[in-house]
């Protein structure tokens, strides 16, 4: 599965980056794993 940046995801969903981060805090979407 391809990875989207938070900005690209927000743009595709037509919401703000802050909204995506809010959804992450609520547990509605998972935060991506960060590469080592």
Residue with tokens 């995801």, as numbered in its chain:
9
> How far apart are alpha carbons 35 and 16 in whole angstroms?
24
Rounded CA separation 36/26 (Å): 25
| Domain boundary assignment for the chain | 1-31
Query: Tokens 């595709």 — which residue?
Result: 12
Tens of pLDDT, residues 1-22: 468 899 999 999 999 999 999 9
Cβ-based neighbours of 17, under 8 Å, separated by 6 or more: 6, 7, 10
pTM for this one?
A: 0.75
Q: How high is the pLDDT of residue 6?
A: 92
Q: Which letter does DSSP use for residue 10 in this model?
A: H
């Amino acid at each position: 599965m391809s990875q989207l940046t938070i900005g690209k995801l927000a743009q595709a969903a037509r919401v703000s980056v802050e909204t995506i981060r809010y959804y992450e805090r609520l547990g509605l979407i998972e935060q991506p794993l960060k590469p080592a």
